[in-house]
């Protein structure tokens, strides 16, 4: 595999793989076709598109400029401890195309950091694009393929459920996420049709200008994910995503939320709520979703009014959620069937394809459980749902519970904005109310509710104050 020092040779191997129409508003950034590597101002600047293997070395710092593409057949390798910055002016974004790979495996003591190129103290959400990983696994769009959103114009999806797009381990992605226009965004980490042969483990997305993590179909599994102070949703699943996920934590900045409504989970089968297959049927276990309400009695004026739900499950989604803590949200769970006056999501709950078990919702008061309230502003009017969500949630065998305050949770310091400690203290109800019996062997035996038992798996490699780091 060629080292970066040999990249001068690659400049002679430019690959013209993209043609952009400057008048197309869905493509606001014109990708470079020539692969360029330049040493400037103490940085190694990288731009363009390559079909060759290459390596980022920890001995250098990198600046991505514009859309940087790793084409099918090429592998980007990143050494532990490497720092990669995204240029703000060019909306820098790293795209691993379908058939390409990224091998970025940091360690707990040497995480790989993708961050803003802005100076310490001036970094903000949306300073650059983020990482887009595209694969060949099934999605539920027509013909089984689609073009990923965000102006990237690259296809994803296919028929290979075990497709391998590489490995991301011990990674931080900071200040990315660009919403070019409604429903056309780049997230901190965007995953389109990524297959189960791919490894995702120990990844923190911080201060994303859109979602922290969003899956568009695919089968990839993941563990140890952190969504920290994102603008929009923490974990968003769409278009037939069917992966398995364990040990996820999300934390909110009470002052920052998106006009579209910020949620812990947002899940759709597709934008229309259709019956397209494969269905969105991801399985989550051991998740902690901390909303903006550090005090369950917080007034609505104490946090951004655009914060909405800990879990917003809608549009015919069939996800399963186990051993999960939803704390500090204006609404705990919204099971939503407003699309097309249908009742498909509710039917999924009734049939058992949508499961919620061993879930604790705390601090949401009278809005802990909600359904669609109706909409008389549209024609035809959309009637309010009559689904008995409380009966579903409280059914024997589901072992779910609603808690008014946080005292019973007995968390050490979960809502601390700059030094959180998410662990439950000894005696917490969370340590004794989980169950992983019957789950897929992918899931570790973690018989507690939430992302943490007695071990803090975020220690060492995460950062809770990235704007103050001199990279």
State both tokens at 280. 């969105």
Contact 177, 199 (CB under 8 A): no
State the residue range of the domain holding 183.
Answer: 4-468
- pTM for this structure? 0.93
Distance of CA 390 to the CA centre of its chain: 28
pLDDT tens across 253-285, in order?
999 999 999 999 999 999 999 999 999 999 999
Quick check: 354 and 289 in contact, CB under 8 A? no
Neighbour count for residue 20 (Cβ, 10 Å): 15
pLDDT of residue 15: 37
CA distance 24 to 1: 37
The answer to whether the CB of 209 falls within 8 A of the CB of 187 is no
pLDDT grade for 375, boundaries at 50, 70 and 90: confident
pLDDT of residue 283: 99
Residue 364 CA to residue 349 CA, distance in Å, equals 21
For the chain, what is the domain count? 1
CA distance linking residue 427 with residue 405, whole number of Å:
16
CATH code (residue 291): 2.160.20
Please check the confidence at residue 343 and state whether its pLDDT lies above 90. Answer: no
Query: Which phi and psi (to 5°) does residue 230 adopt?
Result: -80, 155
């Amino acid at each position: 595999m060629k080292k970066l020092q040999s990249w001068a040779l690659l400049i002679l191997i430019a690959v013209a793989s993209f043609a952009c129409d400057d008048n197309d508003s869905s493509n606001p950034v014109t990708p470079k076709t020539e692969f360029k590597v330049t040493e400037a101002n103490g940085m190694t600047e990288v731009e363009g598109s390559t079909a060759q293997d290459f390596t980022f070395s920890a001995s250098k710092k990198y600046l991505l400029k514009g859309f940087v593409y790793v084409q099918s057949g090429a592998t980007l390798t990143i050494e532990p401890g490497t720092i990669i910055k995204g240029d703000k002016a060019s909306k820098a974004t790293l795209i691993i195309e379908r058939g390409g790979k990224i091998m970025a495996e940091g360690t707990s003591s040497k995480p790989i950091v993708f961050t803003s190129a802005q100076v310490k103290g001036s970094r903000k959400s949306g300073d650059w694009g983020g990482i887009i990983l595209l694969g060949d696994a099934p999605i539920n769009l027509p013909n089984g393929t689609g073009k990923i959103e965000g102006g990237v114009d690259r296809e994803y999806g296919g028929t290979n459920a075990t497709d391998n797009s590489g490995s991301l381990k011990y990674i931080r992605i900071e200040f990315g996420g660009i919403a070019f226009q409604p429903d056309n965004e780049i997230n901190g980490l965007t995953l389109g049709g990524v297959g189960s042969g791919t490894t995702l483990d120990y990844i923190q997305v911080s201060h994303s200008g859109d979602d922290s993590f969003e899956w568009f179909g695919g089968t990839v599994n993941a563990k140890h994910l952190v969504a920290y102070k994102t603008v929009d949703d923490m974990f968003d699943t769409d278009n037939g995503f069917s992966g398995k996920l364990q040990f996820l934590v999300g934390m909110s900045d009470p002052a920052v939320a998106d006009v579209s409504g910020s949620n812990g989970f947002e899940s759709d089968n597709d934008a229309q709520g259709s019956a397209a297959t494969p269905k969105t049927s991801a399985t989550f276990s051991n998740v902690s979703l901390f909303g903006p309400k550090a005090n369950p009695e917080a007034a609505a004026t104490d946090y951004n009014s655009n914060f909405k739900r800990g879990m917003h499950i809608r549009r015919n989604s069939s996800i399963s959620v186990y051993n999960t803590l939803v704390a500090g949200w204006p609404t705990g769970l919204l099971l939503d069937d407003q699309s097309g006056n249908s009742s498909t999501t509710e039917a999924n709950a009734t049939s058992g394809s949508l499961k919620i078990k061993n879930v604790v919702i705390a601090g949401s008061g009278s809005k802990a459980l909600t359904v669609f309230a109706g909409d008389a502003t549209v024609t035809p009017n959309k009637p309010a749902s009559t689904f008995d969500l409380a009966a579903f949630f409280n059914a024997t065998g589901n072992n779910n519970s609603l808690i008014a305050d946080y005292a019973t949770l007995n968390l050490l310091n979960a809502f601390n904005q700059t030094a959180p400690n998410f662990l439950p203290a000894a005696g917490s109800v969370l340590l004794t109310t989980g169950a992983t019996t019957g789950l897929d062997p992918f899931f570790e035996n973690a018989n507690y509710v939430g992302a943490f038992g007695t071990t803090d798996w975020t220690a060492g490699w995460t950062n809770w104050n990235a704007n103050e780091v001199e990279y």
